[in-house]
Amino acid sequence: MNWDQIKGQWKQFKGKAREQWGDLTDDDLDKIEGNREQLEGSIQERYGKTKEQARDEVDKWMKDHS
């Protein structure tokens, strides 16, 4: 699965993202609207991760849900 597919089905993936990153609020996920860079930025901010760590987490999450 690629990011365009996730973006197109963001409403379905919001719940999965919430399970993975429980510190992200529903408002956070609504603002992200399937934008990968915003998701990575929110993960960095909430969890104190580096950009690379956040990118790696999103990559792994995508693989787990494809």
What CATH number is associated with residue 20? 1.10.1470.10
Question: Domain count of the chain?
Answer: 1
Of the candidates 64, 29, 33, which has an alpha carbon nearest to the alpha carbon of residue 43? Answer: 29
List of residues 6+ apart from 2 with CB closer than 8 A? 62
> What pLDDT is stored for residue 65 in this prediction?
82
Integer Cα distance of 59 and 66 in angstroms: 11
The tens-digit pLDDT sequence of the chain (66 residues) is 789 999 999 999 999 999 999 999 999 999 999 999 999 999 999 999 999 999 999 999 999 987
- The amino acid present at 40, given as its one-letter code, is E
The residue range of the domain holding 46 is 3-64
